[in-house]
Amino acid sequence: MTANEYLDHTEETTRRRELAYGILREPPAPFFSHQLVGLKVARLWTDHVEARNLGSVAVTPFDVVLDRDRDLIVQPDVLFIAANRLSIVREQVWGAPDLVAEVLSAGTRAHDRGEKLQWYQHYGVRECWLVDAAAETLTIVDFTGA
């Protein structure tokens, strides 16, 4: 499937799905515990961002078009876009968010720590939080070199 087919010819849905170089992935819905962790991250970020008018926070499912020409569309669990970059938000996010969070689970851990993390780095995400509730760890990956 091409990015154009995905964006122009599929209906709006609350299902999680991603397009990875033309291959449509539709994983099962996250477990309740996964959603709770994602909600806590979103609340933490939203409280910080809104109090300071820093930008916007969104939660999955929400399409992020990293590369339309290469048919790469992802759905981070939580994302933040700085106020001065909100022009990339239309019906989808067109380009790399400033900050993303991925809540790791048994079914997503390898993909989120591997391929997806590489995509984030390659396409310009500044920072990624990998939240592993089972291991009670938070790994912050800073792609800016700071």
pLDDT of residue 98: 98
* Residue of 111, 102, 101, 105 lying closest to 33 (CA atoms): 105
Per-residue pLDDT reduced to its tens digit, 18-75: 999 999 988 888 889 999 999 999 999 999 999 999 999 999 989 999 999 999 999 9
Does residue 100 contact residue 88 with C-beta atoms inside 8 Å? no
Q: For residue 82, what are the domain limits?
A: 3-142
Residues of 50-81 as b/e, b for ≥16 C-beta within 10 angstroms?
eeeebbbbbbbebbbbbbbeebbbbbbbbbbb
Q: How far apart are CA 20 and CA 133, in angstroms?
A: 26
pLDDT of residue 13: 76
Per-residue pLDDT reduced to its tens digit, 91-126: 999 999 999 999 998 888 888 999 999 999 999 999
pLDDT of residue 70: 96
Amino acid symbol at 13 = T
Q: Where is pLDDT greater, at 13 or 20?
A: 20
Query: What CATH number did the domain enclosing 55 receive?
Result: 3.90.1570.10
pLDDT of residue 114: 94
Q: For residue 98, how many other CB atoms are within 10 A of its CB?
A: 17
Does residue 87 contact residue 116 with C-beta atoms inside 8 Å? no
Total count of domains within the chain? 1
Q: pTM for this one?
A: 0.91
Q: In the predicted model, is pLDDT for residue 79 greater than 90?
A: yes
pLDDT of residue 26: 87
Q: 133: exposed, middle or buried (C-beta count within 10 Å: 0-12, 13-18, 19+)? A: middle
